[in-house]
Amino acid sequence: MWASELIRRKRDGAGLCPEEIEHLIRGYVEGDVGDEQMAAFCMAVFFQGMSDEETSSLVKAMLSSGDTVDLCGIEGVKVDKHSTGGVGDKISICLAPLVAACGVPVPMMSGRALGHTGGTLDKLSAIPGFRTEQDITTYQRLVETHGLALIGQTPELAPADRRLYALRDVTATVESVPLIAASIMSKKLAEGIDALVLDVKVGSGAFMKTLSEAQALAEVLSAIGWGANKPTRVILTDMDRVLGRMVGNANETWEAIEVLQGGGPDDVRELTLILGAEMLILGQRVGSEAEGRTLLMEAIDSGKGFEKFQEVVAAQGGDPRAVEQRSGLPSAPHQEEIGAEQEGTITAIDAEKVGWAAMRLGAGRGRASDSIDLGVGIEMMVDIGDCVKRGEVVARLSHRDGYGTVEARKLLQQALIITNEGFIAQRPLVLDRIEEGKQ
């Protein structure tokens, strides 16, 4: 089978059989299929899509491209959470230690920045000394000893996805439902989990812009999870505005820590409780969402969630004292305030433009080889429904010597839609759910 022929057929809308998909993925991992060919294949999939059978075959091919972890010897139901990515989405950093503190093991493998969305690994890398790159043996030990691991994908697990993840980021093929589903589920099925909670973002700051697109992705993810005998719950949440106030790496990490310490923005705390309760239900720790929320709040109020976070920070080489104060994390040396261009009500926020603005400052990657400035970022001072006067501060940039500020300022002003309309109601945080048992 020639890779170019398979790419041509997919480009022209033909379906591929499992053996052909396996051939492409194996060839990519082994070096027989080049980046330029796989980029062409991803673009063909982006435009032509894949059937359910093709998507399932892609997941299996990516999963079988490497090893899988066995966590069966560790007591408890191992539950992970994954988000499809949004602007200001730092939920994993506060969610995972809270759930672990409540007695459910959380083996969490996360990713780096993808497109205009930040990556959990980049945010955790803002903690001095914290090592996200761990081998499988250490990963297993972390879960067994601490009930929690916050690591990146190891080279042995789904290596096809590890390479495709970076390739999709720089070839404008991130938003494809089959490619998103295969990326997420190949990693999750490889990491040894028993159950999974998925947060599918919907809106301007998400890869899925409409509810119908997000529902289609959620149904595919749910079917793959249940098909692999992994109970899976999917929550569709709003990303038509920034989640929390902070966008960047170190500042988002600190905002998540604030939640663990009993503070933080209302929406970040609320989504943490929603997703955490689902994880505790799947982990058989509680029988209802109300019980789960109560247990999570007890872990916040008692400080056990923050203690668990400090515990795993130390276990992964970080300085647990650095996360006690904002000054322990990187920061940019300069700040610039952005004023409203007119008076009125903020009727919409294009969260994607906010994400791109943070990238222009150096908080994300334009190319796979780019480095990230962990200290730069954006603080949003307003939200949908707020009334502002001309010149009133709507955002604050943290930057390094003016790098990217002209572009970032322009993008932020474009992102804020200010009109003379009256009261504007925000969308609910949770837009839909795919509950247990739906496939």
Q: pLDDT, tens digit, for every residue of 131-154? A: 999 999 999 999 999 999 999 988
Catalytic residue among 168, 201, 308, 409: 168
Catalytic residue among 57, 110, 183, 331: 183
User: Which residues does 133 contact at the CB level (< 8 Å), separation at least 6?
Assistant: 151, 152, 154
Catalytic residue among 162, 187, 201, 308: 187
pLDDT at residue 154, rounded to an integer: 87
Q: Does domain 79-326 have CATH number 3.10.20.740?
A: no
- Judged against a pLDDT cut of 70, whether residue 75 lies above it is answered with yes
pLDDT at residue 368, rounded to an integer: 62
Catalytic residue among 89, 161, 238, 267: 161
- pLDDT tens readout for residues 173-224: 988 999 999 999 999 999 999 999 999 999 999 989 999 999 999 999 999 9
pLDDT at residue 436, rounded to an integer: 58
N-to-C CA span, the chain: 34
Q: Residues of the chain with pLDDT > 90: what percent?
A: 88
Q: Which CATH superfamily, name and number, covers 331-419?
A: Pyrimidine nucleoside phosphorylase-like, C-terminal domain (3.90.1170.30)
CB 223 within 8 A of CB 422: no
CA distances from 422 to 48, 157, 341, 385, 419 (A): 43, 52, 18, 8, 9
Report how far Cα 173 is from the mean position of its chain's Cα atoms: 17
Q: Residues of the chain with pLDDT > 70: what percent?
A: 98
- pLDDT tens readout for residues 244-256: 999 999 999 999 9
Q: Which CATH class is domain 3-49?
A: mainly alpha
pLDDT at residue 188, rounded to an integer: 94
State yes or no: is 187 an active-site residue.
Answer: yes
- Judged against a pLDDT cut of 70, whether residue 438 lies above it is answered with no
pLDDT band at 240 (very low <50, low <70, confident <90, very high): very high
pLDDT band at 322 (very low <50, low <70, confident <90, very high): very high
Catalytic residue among 82, 116, 146, 188: 82
CB 318 within 8 A of CB 130: yes
pLDDT band at 116 (very low <50, low <70, confident <90, very high): confident
Category of 64 on φ-ψ map: left (φ > 0), alpha (ψ -120 to 50) or beta: alpha
Taking the complete model, does pTM exceed 0.85, yes or no? yes
Mean pLDDT (the chain) is 94
pLDDT at residue 439, rounded to an integer: 38
Residues 302-322: what's their mean pLDDT?
98
pLDDT at residue 112, rounded to an integer: 80
Domains of the chain, by residue range, sit at 3-49, 79-326, 331-419
Closest by alpha carbon to 428, among 293, 208, 235? 235
Please calculate the CA angle 172-271-362 and round it to the nearest 5 degrees.
40
State yes or no: is 168 an active-site residue.
Answer: yes
Distance CA 77, CA 6 (A): 41
Residues 108-128: what's their mean pLDDT?
88
State yes or no: is 183 an active-site residue.
Answer: yes
Q: How many CB atoms lie within 10 A of CB 180?
A: 23
- pLDDT tens readout for residues 10-47: 999 999 999 999 999 999 999 999 999 999 999 999 99
- pLDDT tens readout for residues 343-396: 999 999 999 999 999 999 999 877 667 789 999 999 999 999 999 999 999 999
